[in-house]
């Protein structure tokens, strides 16, 4: 057996990202409710029926990989490295939407403004204020970028982390309230005086403004892969250490892991081990909501490393092992036979070249 390194996860599946989702920013329609993924966080029925991904009661972290271009997502930014103390995250090209249109202020979301990441929260029904922060790293340069958003309820601040490096951190003491979907539910009345406007408030929506409120709230056009949802505030070091890894089920704090490895159909499933609900890919219209595959084009999917690191090994170790890595933190892989792997690179993924791994001890039995 190989200690410390595995060519495929011990819990099954590929340690590479084999497929991802391509969106075209057509979510606002017509006809509407397209080019997106909807994942329910609650059932909107009174009672404690929330799913594990109904985060926001306390601290939480959202992570995903994306690739896109500013030309396809042209909303303007505010100059970068700025805290706006408002709800203007919703004015960017929306990547994650957990907004509720009336009935509660328990809401949050993520968008891109002029290539910069925006992360915003509403005040909560009992909170002090809403807030939006904007980083200054251009993540719409045509390359894959890992984005993490952290809400630390104990400190009361928001943080954006891009490619394992802190991009921007907001003020302390701003966001401390409960932002989870209300257990009492909110009736869908179409009227803000009596309930919520649309039947989508209890969903986390990927790559679209969930309510189809119009062109003032544009959707994201580009690729999305490897969505993770945590019920803890992860540190920048923790995020950097696992962004290039496939994480096993029952990883502490991981409540939703949507890898988008299905590759076809309209259902996306959670692999966190907690049984978070499946999501639905809304497609059916040519040119949006498409599956893409690594075997067709290596740039179609996030550069998740070809190895699952055992506990105690982090992505930084891989860069030291392989000076020839083409993606930061990802070890060099080849299709040559070295005894580590199963079959050819085309059949089961590339193999690790042992010559790039000094001081690795292999034991059998």
Span 23-46, average pLDDT:
92
Domain count, the chain: 2
Task: Compute the distance between CA of residue 257 and CA of residue 268 in angstroms, rounded to an integer.
Answer: 10
Span 313-319, average pLDDT:
41
**What's the chain's average pLDDT?**
84
Which of 300, 322, 342 is the C-terminal boundary of a domain? 300
Ramachandran quadrant class, 164 (left: phi over 0; alpha: psi -120 to 50; beta: rest): left
Q: How many CB atoms lie within 10 A of CB 260?
A: 27
Check which CATH number belongs to the domain holding 283 and give it: 2.60.120.200
How high is the pLDDT of residue 271? 96
pLDDT at 320 over 70: no
Domain extent for 365: 1-13+305-365
231 and 344 together in one domain: no
pLDDT band (50, 70, 90) for residue 346: very low
3-state secondary structure (DSSP) of residue 71: helix
Decide if 283 contacts 268 (C-beta within 8 A).
Answer: no
How high is the pLDDT of residue 127? 81
**Better-scored residue on pLDDT, 30 or 240:** 240
Span 111-121, average pLDDT:
98
How high is the pLDDT of residue 283? 81
How high is the pLDDT of residue 13? 53
Q: Which residues on neighbouring strands pair with residue 321, listed in sequence order?
A: none
Span 336-348, average pLDDT:
30
241 and 311 together in one domain: no
How high is the pLDDT of residue 131? 98
What's the full length of the chain, in residues? 365
Q: What share of the chain is helix, strand, coil (3-state, %, to 5)?
A: 10, 30, 60
pLDDT at 315 over 70: no
pTM of the model: 0.83
Task: Compute the distance between CA of residue 185 and CA of residue 188 in angstroms, rounded to an integer.
Answer: 9
Q: Quote the Cα angle for 139-229-238, to 5°.
A: 70
Which of 300, 327, 344 is the C-terminal boundary of a domain? 300
User: In 25-104, where does DSSP find H-type helix?
Assistant: none
283 and 314 together in one domain: no
Q: Which residues on neighbouring strands pair with residue 67, listed in sequence order?
A: 223
How high is the pLDDT of residue 14? 63
> Of 4-8, 230-234, 291-295, which range is least confident?
4-8
How high is the pLDDT of residue 172? 97
């Amino acid at each position: 057996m190989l200690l410390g390194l595995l060519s495929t996860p011990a819990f099954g599946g590929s340690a590479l990202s084999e497929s991802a989702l391509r969106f075209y920013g057509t979510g606002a329609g017509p006809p509407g409710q397209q080019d997106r993924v909807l994942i329910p966080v609650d059932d909107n029925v009174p009672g404690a029926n929330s799913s594990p991904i109904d985060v926001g009661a306390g601290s939480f972290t959202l992570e995903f990989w994306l690739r896109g271009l500013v030309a396809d997502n042209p909303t303007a930014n505010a100059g970068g490295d700025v805290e706006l103390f408002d709800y203007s995250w919703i004015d960017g090209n929306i990547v994650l939407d957990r907004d509720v249109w009336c009935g509660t202020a328990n809401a949050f979301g993520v968008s891109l403004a002029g290539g910069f990441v925006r992360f915003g929260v509403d005040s909560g029904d009992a909170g002090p204020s809403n807030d939006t922060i904007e980083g200054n790293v251009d993540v719409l340069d045509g390359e894959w970028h890992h984005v993490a958003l952290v809400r630390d309820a104990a400190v009361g601040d928001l943080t954006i982390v891009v490619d394992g490096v802190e991009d921007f951190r907001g003020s302390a003491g701003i966001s401390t309230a409960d932002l989870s979907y209300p257990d009492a539910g909110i009736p869908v009345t179409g009227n803000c005086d009596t309930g919520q406007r649309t039947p989508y408030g209890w969903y986390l929506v990927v790559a679209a403004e969930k309510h189809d409120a119009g062109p003032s709230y544009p959707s994201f056009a580009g690729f999305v892969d490897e969505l993770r949802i945590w019920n803890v505030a992860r540190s920048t070091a923790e995020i950097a250490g696992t962004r290039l890894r496939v994480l096993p089920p029952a990883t502490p704090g991981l409540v939703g892991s949507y890898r988008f490895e299905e590759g076809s159909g309209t259902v996306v499933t959670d692999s966190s081990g907690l049984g978070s609900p499946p999501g639905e890919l809304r497609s059916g219209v040519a040119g949006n909501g498409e599956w893409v595959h690594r075997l067709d084009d290596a740039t179609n999917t996030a550069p998740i490393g070809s190895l699952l690191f055992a506990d105690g090994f982090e992505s930084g170790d891989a860069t030291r092992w392989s000076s020839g890595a083409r993606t930061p933190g990802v070890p060099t892989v080849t299709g040559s036979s070295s005894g580590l792997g199963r079959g050819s690179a085309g059949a089961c993924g590339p193999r690790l070249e042992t010559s790039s791994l000094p001081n690795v001890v292999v034991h059998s039995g």
